[in-house]
Amino acid sequence: MEHRQSAELYQRAAASTPGGVHSNTRARSPHPIYFERAEGPYLYDVDGNRYLDFVLGNGAIILGHGNPEVQQAVAAVIAQGLTTGSETRLAVEAAELLLQQVPTAEMVRFANSGTEAVMHALELARSATGRRRVAKVEGAYHGWDSQMYVSAWPDLGLAGPSEAPQPVPAHKGLDADVARSTIILPFNDVAATRRIVEEHADELAAVIVEPVMMDIGYVEATREYIHELRRITKDHGIVFIFDELLTGFRVAPGGAQSHYGVTPDLSTFGKAIANGYAVAAVAGRREIMDEARPGGSCAWVGTFNGHAVSMAAVGATLRQFEGSGVWRALQERMTYLEQRFARRAKERGVDVVLRGRGGNFHWYFTAESVQDYRSAATSSTERYQQFAKTAAERGIHLAPGTLSHHSLTVAHEQEHLDAFVDCL
């Protein structure tokens, strides 16, 4: 493929923007690709090249790029001139729709990004409990706040033993004291997690978990692990938070909490709830959410919260989720992809396994059973990069990192999945 205009844009961008990108995950070698439009399962770059997209805004696109219903709803709001700083009927309707589809939650409030939503959820937990510290799982990414961007893809040489992982700040820009206050839990290790939580129970405001670890690909929690976390947090008065920014409306209708049959105290949602428009949400128990009421003990402000364009996108997206047809379509595609990929791997004699559900998926070049970050890290970087190189040459857009995550939309057809599998 010819990338002359992308190369030229990179030279311009690098002079005004660090690395020529506005998120480091978009960096590519020798330069990023600059896109100008999208439709259905496809992206189109400034050089006119078409790419079959499996990145999909880190899972934010669930209905396909440029979904007509969402675009029409957004266009109608733009035509009215209403943007931000006001409450709207659209926000009321969006909140009602989300709560209808997440029956475990009683109240919801909107924010603008996943990082913001997680920060708000932690503040609510501190306000409700009077405690300060939080616990998270090793390898999980919950945004770039100093208390959360800890032990996300950590250097295992610094991370300590698997049964007692140590906090590893992600970079030097974090508040090191805050970062090192975070308690790290080993994913899917019930006994070690129980021991660590009980040891710190009196100082823990919250335990936050991705019920499926998506930022290391696709690694599901065992039911025993999730239910034990729910039991022990309830016993000790710790706020239990599900980070459903990636799993929400993909793992199951109603979120991963519906799939696991667990009711967390708070949950964060984002990504797919607006088919790519900028929005996130915190939902959960009324008595905890009510901490953020005007005059309450926990502040929650933001000029762009409930932005009219985003609220229109949320409403138009969530209405299409009603009846679970979207989820069934995604799961049918996911089942086909898993089976077809497994056959191809067997034919090629390659140690690789693809896992996924509801359109979220990833694949690991390892013979080891992947149960957590440390086992996921055994996946061959060399084999992954070779696969990604082949895909790029065939016009397939994948994430560059070995431990990334990928997605499908209802706009992907069987022929698109076959093209992906044929890269193996």
162-181: b or e for each residue (b if 16 or more CB lie within 10 Å)? beebebbbbeeebeeeebeb
d(CA 241, CA 224): 17
Q: From the candidates 45, 53, 215, 243, which is the catalytic residue?
A: 243
Among residues 387, 418, 397, 318, the alpha carbon closest in space to that of 38 is found at 397
Q: Which residue has the tokens 């790290």?
A: 184
Strands 396-397 and 212-213: unpaired
Q: Using an 8 Å Cβ cutoff, are 209 and 239 in contact?
A: no
Is 141 assigned a catalytic role?
yes
| CB within 8 Å of 133: residues ≥ 6 apart | 181, 182, 183, 200, 203, 204, 205
d(CA 123, CA 129): 10
Is 175 assigned a catalytic role?
no
Q: Which residue has the tokens 């994913």?
A: 187
Per-residue DSSP letter, 26 = G
Strand partners, 110: 281
Q: From the candidates 10, 51, 141, 225, which is the catalytic residue?
A: 141
| β-sheet with 266-269: strand ranges across | 107-111, 280-284, 266-269, 239-244, 204-209, 133-137, 183-185
Q: From the candidates 215, 265, 271, 277, which is the catalytic residue?
A: 271
**Where in the sequence numbering do the catalytic residues fall?**
141, 243, 271
